[in-house]
Structure 1
């Protein structure tokens, strides 16, 4: 177990000298990247090239570029610039769908079929014409490979066995998606607009690189075959990713010639490089560094609200937490106000419901507060007048570790002695997937799709609570929270065609979850803070992480 940290303290601390040394090393690596792009030493000043965008962020979770298996927000922005989606979401109003490769679409009266009209004249970066056949094949490939990104499609009832029939091209410009099971077709459209699995691949190019029937999976790990505004030039894992402008892009060439993405994990190094002008855009800075950047007249700080939620989760496989009174006591022992005031600025906004804020079905916060007397009474009624011992698993990074130490402190006030076990994502969420934990401080939810079903399916819904069901994509299953009544409400709302009735049913589901004291208690909705130089224009961070760079330029 790593040493515990106090709330607000960075997870990793380096002296100023160490930070400057790391900064120098990063500058040398950035110089190498620029040299690879054909920029001579004359351009290596504390000012990035006028026609290139240099972005710094952590690529620790960027493991593959294959749209069938690439998970996490880090890859979404990359995919949104290398590829095209059939549909896009308005970054200002994510419930508003905009045409992408699909000029238009219509839903059948019974809600069981979607027909999309694919625009003519689009070419892949290889020169091949893009057709509805490519779009159908790209989605079929995801199901047939059955890798990580097949999950949302399987939730709609698609399988490797039925996908060829369910998703098909009627002709070069017409794509039909028949829904195998009743669901809200808007959810499918939102998934087409937000999931990396929904990008359209150059079928011919990918299959030229097929190895032993893998449909190009090995090749696509480090390559791309898209029609987007930028083409992949090079990717070196945990180092650098280079994208060059595709001049044949159907919307017209992007304003920038090149995008350079640098792998950077140290917040202080990010801050120094933005401050000096060596980076144009940075994300992943710690809250103190973001606050410092707000005082820099040459820098703009832009918060982007995401749909995912920070939460405290308990395992109901543990008999202690199976007791509703104990779960309610834990709910009363979270210092929501203190955490959101001292820890979450630039990371999140107070939110206590399992459905993200800003949707028609979103309910106001129920107003949970730290209430020690109520918690102590509940624990005594449950047979724990002196508390008990437990563990809190958490990522070693802020703000997670800071939330955990706050929770550790407030639990102790009621006699609950909680040991904090910090680790990597696999160590924390791996234990959760195996249903082998007590308490976890984590982050999750549907997030990308602006629809209540996305959040409830991810955090609450659990159709089969047996261990052997292994529904690891459902965080409700991971916590062993099982409510047939709640499942029925969520299923009813999903297929309700009347929007007002659907909204009311989703709200009823949230109230029921509140009364049943679910195993996952949201505490804050995620904010992703982007820091950029003032001369960067038209950069608009997208709530679904599909941040597109085709219109970005530098006003110098």
Structure 2
């Protein structure tokens, strides 16, 4: 089996870079064309890029995790079961008995303790996610402990156990093989340098080779506790140009193209190629800075909701890229609110402004990232808002320029998007429904603070109530109510939820692409 696997992977790497002739990928190997030049690190304690997130998810496991069978459900991972004690602020996990690392070492409770402490002590980019639980380099050894096959996690703060579980399902909570990692430690780096070129996980795939800016090769783990993957390996070829990805797919040199443009997607006519669409967690919104007096009346906020041509955009230049969604938590996850009560109605918007005594015209600048589809969206908003006397002057800029203005609160209106750092509703509730200190010197990485919106105390309190609510159903009800209130009365107009399209050979089945890059799964893929 090992020799066959090696031969298949070698054959895939020998595929031509350009489609000089029709080819065929190996039957039991998935070959993917994808732009992966965003990868900076692949150590799960450091990995923070989109492509590295996909890699970590397929190579490592967590105590609890969203998985390929249903990426919207938090399920057992390396923990077979757990018991939460909200009053004591602890969760005790019982480790499953049938999990082994790729090295052959059994997955132990001690590996969990080591993995969590390692993230906190290295304190690299994603460490803040675990640090939310009150963990520090000084206390983490007391906050996470092992006894036999049980791991006890302690946390500080009025947190719901559901929130803690979602934190522990995030990327930096991936479990690494302590014995293998520490055998490759150098200069006290806890194996960081080695893990940025190798892997030490227990997941469905093992990292067989990684050449930055060139390719990733994954080999199936035949001993995976949920069953071996259906393909023997995955080769992800770095192909930066979408046009080249399209040619490789059409010629049969790859099985999947991950970065085709909407125009390329719409132009696919080949019967042997199919396109799958996957909702994503990012929500796109228009917001008004409350430092601008003309944008402070609530009637302006309400009218704005009827001045977005939602259907017009998703049925034309946003087709396949976004769907209408008007609440801050993405559709498809517990706690989402999926009603879309607003539609394009300029006459109603004008009446709302007139009834409130708002004088028009209102002239306002609109900052936007200077790339598609953002500039197209801005032009649509410019045309539709003008119907009610709200005139946008579009100011395009690079992503860094736009974000810098947003963080400085120096914009007037802003067209942007937001995605959660981890899949718990609090990640977005804090961004859209909480701002307890609106002062200029209290910088917060939230849409509320950046738009200088002094959130009503009722919403602040409800956001913190949801964070600490231990009953999952009640907690979700609070988040739904929060979304309704923000949807009805806020200077932030949420319009769309992003979608992601992937083109693939018609014989490829079982590919799962969840709402974020952490939810891309190859384990169930087959080539029929």
Question: How high is the TM-score relative to the length of structure 1?
Answer: 0.82
Other-structure match for 1:532: 504
- Counterpart of 2:448 in structure 1 is 476
Question: Which residue matches 1:512?
Answer: 485
Flag the 1:224–1:379 CA change in 2: closer, same or farther, 3 A. Answer: farther
Contact 1:308 1:445 in 2 (8 A): yes
Distance in 1 between the 2:141 and 2:525 partners? Answer: 38
- Tell whether 2:153 aligns with 1:177: yes
Structure 1 residue runs without a partner (length 5+): 1-32
Question: For residues 533 and 205 of structure 1, do their structure 2 counterparts lie closer, same or farther at Cα, with a shift above 3 Å needed?
Answer: same
Q: Which residue does the alignment assign to 1:232?
A: 207
In 2, Cα distance between equivalents of 1:211 and 1:520: 48
Q: Which residue of 2 aligns with 1:554?
A: 527
Equivalent residue number for residue 440 of structure 1: 414
Gap change, CA 1:36 and 1:482, over 3 Å in 2: farther
SS in structure 1 of the partner of residue 320 of structure 2 = coil
Could you tell me how far 1:208 is from its partner in structure 2? 4.1
**Map 1:329-344 → 2, pairs under 5 A:** 329-344=303-318
* CA 69–407 in structure 1, closer or farther in 2 if over 3 Å, else same: farther
State the match for 2:254 in structure 1: 279
Would you say how many aligned residue pairs link Structure 1 and Structure 2?
Answer: 514
SS in 2 for 1:96: strand
1:89 alignment partner, SS class: strand
Q: CA deviation at 1:433?
A: 3.4
Q: Secondary structure at the match of 1:493?
A: helix
Secondary structure of residue in 1 paired with 2:426: helix
Instruction: Give the Å deviation of 1:253.
Output: 4.3
Closer, same or farther in 2 for the Cα pair 1:417/1:163, shift >3 Å? same
Maintained 8 Å contact 1:333/1:370: yes
1:115 equivalenced with 2:92 (yes/no) = yes
CA distance in 1, matches of 2:436, 2:132: 11
Instruction: Return the match for 2:190 from 208, 215, 235.
Output: 215
Map 1:75-86 → 2, pairs under 5 A: 75-86=52-63
Gaps of 5+ in 2: 1-7
2:163 counterpart of 1:191: no
Partner of 2:287: 313
Name the SS of the counterpart of 1:527 in structure 2: strand
Q: 1:554 to 1:227 in 2, by over 3 A?
A: same
What is the correspondence of 1:353-364 to structure 2 with a 5 Å cutoff? 353-358=327-332, 361-364=335-338
1:74 matched residue in structure 2? 51
Kindly report which structure 2 residues correspond to 1:120-131, keeping only aligned pairs within 5 A, or say none.
120-131=97-108
Q: Is the 8 A contact 2:364 2:413 kept in 1?
A: no
Report the TM-score when normalising by structure 2. 0.86
Distance 1:34 1:201, change over 3 A: closer
Matches within 5 A, 1:373-384: 373=347, 375=349
> 1:125-524 maps to which residues of 2 (within 5 A)?
125-171=102-148, 173-193=149-169, 195-247=170-222, 249-251=224-226, 253-293=228-268, 295-358=269-332, 361-373=335-347, 375=349, 385-394=360-369, 396-398=371-373, 400-413=374-387, 414-424=389-399, 426-446=400-420, 449=423, 451-472=424-445, 474-483=446-455, 484-515=457-488, 517-524=489-496
Residue matched to 1:21: none
